């Protein structure tokens, strides 16, 4: 239904008619409780509790590995997921500005004219006429529908900013993990090549013993088989190392092999996590994590959209005005008697819509419930990820300490077995068993170091670090 009246007494009647349509005391959005974080962490043994660390924004610097820090910086600058998330932020900012502009009046202008010319006595005489007009319109936001839509757009913009920060945090962690696994695999290759050298010496010694008649061919063949088995593992590790480097190039938005020279210039050490990480209290983590804040902004957007949908049930007031200038001649355009102004007041409101508004309100209410459940889920996920990472940091550290002792003992056992074999005191099987045991424990040690590093990286990410 629409009602239009011109300015004057009819405008006052229109305003009175509008207020008579108002239902006082309309219900607002219903409130819902959110997820409450615990007061302290359960598995925080060995970790000091303090305020959120400022270095969480660049936690990878605590590993004291310039190569890893440079790769993460390159990734944050060149990754395509980061660029895509940045574009979404720009789009959301423009949508917010567009929604905010709807609150302001709009003004447009037009100019129309025509002219004719006649030639007389070789001179041109001309006369032109036309019309100029300024048209203004404004929807008076009595019930806040447009304000709620602008609030929703602003909340969606904030959510896209948090999404960008989530992508930054995830990318930093992914690059750090890929780099750490690369260094672990390089260490594996170094250990394997050292084992190959040791088995080559054992195979030569077995061959000499066979030639000297001190051993049969079985012993020599066993030594050669063990040697070739170790050599066969080298190409697999080299393949994995090359693929790790390509993965890092992809994460940084570069072509394959872009970092091969820099990464292969020297065998880098395996990054060592800092042991003095202060984890903060759970509430700090909720405030720090961008994915939780993103979910919170989505709840705010859903609340505003629900309120805007409810505002559709009430009438809207539209003001429109025209200031026109009409003249038969251009030289008379600024004469006051040639101007005219109109003001139109329009009131529109729903009378019968077959349940469209009610259905839209129900849909928006369901969307709000979904956003709230997503928010609760993000809070619980954040708390669970921190607890899991704390457990992994502690248990992987314990396992690492045990395996370091086991490796020391296995190296000594392999050395003694080799010496006794050279002295003819023991057989080759004992030597090969000692070497296989050493290789297996060293491989377990490196795998445990990788798990320990990943646990700390996951903890930094779970605490909400990795973006700035």
Instruction: For 316-380, give the DSSP string.
Output: EEEEEEEEEEEESSGGGTT-GGGEEEEEEEEEE--S--TTHHHHHHHHHHHHHHHHHHHHHHHHH
What token pair was written down for 319? Answer: 């003001």
Per DSSP, which regions of 363-438 are E strands? none
**Whole-angstrom Cα distance, residue 42 to residue 167?**
28
Residues paired with residue 126 on neighbouring β-strands, in sequence order: 117
**Whole-angstrom Cα distance, residue 278 to residue 275?**
9
- CA atoms within 13 A of residue 313's CA, in its CB half-sphere: 16
Task: State which residues form the domain around 375.
Answer: 44-112+143-312+362-462
Q: pLDDT tens digit string along 263-273?
A: 887 667 899 98
**Whole-angstrom Cα distance, residue 431 to residue 453?**
33
Query: Is there a domain that residue 134 lies in?
Result: no
Quickly list H helices, 136-288: 145-211, 217-251, 260-264, 282-288
Query: Is there a domain that residue 263 lies in?
Result: yes
Assign residue 435 the CATH number of its domain.
1.20.1600.10
Residues paired with residue 135 on neighbouring β-strands, in sequence order: 108, 322
Question: Any residues with CB less than 8 A from the CB of 263 and at least 6 apart, and which?
Answer: 67, 182, 245, 248
**Whole-angstrom Cα distance, residue 192 to residue 436?**
11
Query: In the prediction, which pLDDT does 242 show?
Result: 94
**Whole-angstrom Cα distance, residue 141 to residue 148?**
10
Question: Any residues with CB less than 8 A from the CB of 157 and at least 6 apart, and which?
Answer: 89, 92, 93, 95, 96
Displacement of CA 167 from its chain's centroid (Å) = 2
CB 317 within 8 A of CB 5: no
Query: Is there a domain that residue 417 lies in?
Result: yes
Query: In the prediction, which pLDDT does 41 show?
Result: 77
Query: Is there a domain that residue 267 lies in?
Result: yes
Query: Is there a domain that residue 159 lies in?
Result: yes
Q: Residue holding tokens 């001309």?
A: 126
Give the single-character DSSP code of 52: P
Query: Is there a domain that residue 156 lies in?
Result: yes
How would you write the pLDDT of the chain (468 residues) with one tens digit per residue?
333 333 333 433 333 333 333 322 333 334 344 456 777 777 766 676 665 566 688 899 989 899 999 999 999 999 999 999 999 999 999 999 888 887 777 666 566 554 554 444 444 444 445 565 666 666 767 788 888 999 999 999 999 999 999 999 999 999 999 999 999 999 999 999 999 998 898 888 888 878 877 777 888 888 899 899 999 999 999 999 999 999 999 999 999 988 888 888 766 789 998 877 777 778 878 888 999 999 999 999 999 999 988 888 888 777 666 655 554 444 444 455 555 555 566 667 677 667 888 998 999 999 999 999 999 999 999 999 999 999 999 999 999 999 999 999 999 999 999 899 888 888 888 988 999 999 999 999 999 999 999 999 999 999 988 887
User: How many domains does the structure of the chain reveal?
Assistant: 1
What token pair was written down for 363? Answer: 């849909």
CB atoms < 10 A from the CB of 23, how many? 7
Query: Is there a domain that residue 201 lies in?
Result: yes
Q: Residue holding tokens 């011109």?
A: 6
Query: Is there a domain that residue 23 lies in?
Result: no
Query: In the prediction, which pLDDT does 361 show?
Result: 92
CB atoms < 10 A from the CB of 161, how many? 20
3-state secondary structure of 381: helix
Q: Residue holding tokens 């505002």?
A: 311
């Amino acid at each position: 239904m629409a009602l239009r009246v011109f300015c004057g007494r009819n405008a006052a009647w229109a305003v009175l008619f509008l207020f008579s349509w108002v239902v006082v005391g309309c219900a607002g959005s219903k409130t819902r409780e959110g997820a409450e974080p615990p007061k302290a962490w359960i598995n925080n043994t060995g970790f000091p509790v303090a305020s959120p660390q400022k270095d969480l924004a660049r936690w990878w610097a605590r590993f004291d590995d310039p190569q890893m820090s440079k790769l993460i910086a390159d990734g944050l600058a060149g990754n395509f997921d980061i660029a895509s998330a940045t574009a979404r932020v720009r789009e959301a900012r423009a949508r917010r500005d567009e929604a905010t502009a709807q609150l302001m009046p709009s003004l447009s202008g037009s100019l129309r004219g025509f002219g004719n010319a006649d030639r007389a006595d070789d001179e041109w005489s001309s006369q032109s006429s036309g019309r100029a007009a300024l048209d203004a319109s404004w929807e008076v936001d009595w019930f806040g529908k447009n304000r709620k839509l602008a609030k929703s757009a602003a909340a969606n913009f904030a959510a896209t900013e948090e999404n960008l920060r989530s992508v930054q945090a995830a990318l930093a962690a992914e690059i750090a993990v890929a780099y750490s696994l690369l260094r672990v695999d390089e260490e594996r290759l170094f250990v394997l090549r050292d084992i190959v050298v040791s088995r080559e010496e054992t195979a030569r010694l077995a061959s000499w013993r066979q030639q000297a008649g001190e051993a049969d061919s079985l012993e020599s063949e066993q030594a050669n088989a063990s040697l070739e088995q170790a050599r066969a593992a080298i190409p697999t590790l080299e393949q994995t190392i090359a693929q790790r480097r390509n993965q890092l190039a992809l994460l940084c938005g570069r072509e394959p092999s872009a970092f091969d020279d820099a990464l292969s210039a020297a065998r880098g050490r395996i990054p060592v996590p800092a042991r003095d990480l202060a984890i903060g209290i759970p509430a700090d983590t909720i405030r720090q994590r961008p994915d939780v804040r993103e979910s919170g902004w989505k709840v705010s957007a859903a609340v505003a959209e629900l309120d805007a949908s409810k505002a559709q049930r009430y009438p809207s007031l539209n003001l429109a005005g025209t200031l026109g200038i009409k003249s038969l001649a251009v030289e008379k355009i600024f004469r006051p008697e040639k101007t005219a102004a109109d003001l139109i007041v329009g009131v529109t409101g729903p009378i019968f819509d077959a349940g469209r508004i009610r259905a839209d309100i129900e849909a928006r209410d369901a969307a709000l419930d979904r956003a709230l459940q997503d928010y609760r889920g993000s809070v619980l996920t954040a708390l669970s990820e921190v607890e899991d990472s704390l457990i992994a940091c502690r248990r992987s550290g314990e396992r690492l300490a045990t395996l370091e002792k086991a490796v020391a003992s296995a190296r000594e056992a392999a050395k003694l077995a080799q010496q006794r074999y050279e002295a003819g005191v023991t057989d080759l099987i004992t030597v090969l068993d000692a070497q296989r045991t050493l290789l297996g424990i060293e491989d377990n040690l490196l795998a445990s170091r990788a798990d320990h590093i990943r646990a700390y990286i996951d903890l930094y990410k779970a605490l909400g670090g990795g973006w700035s």
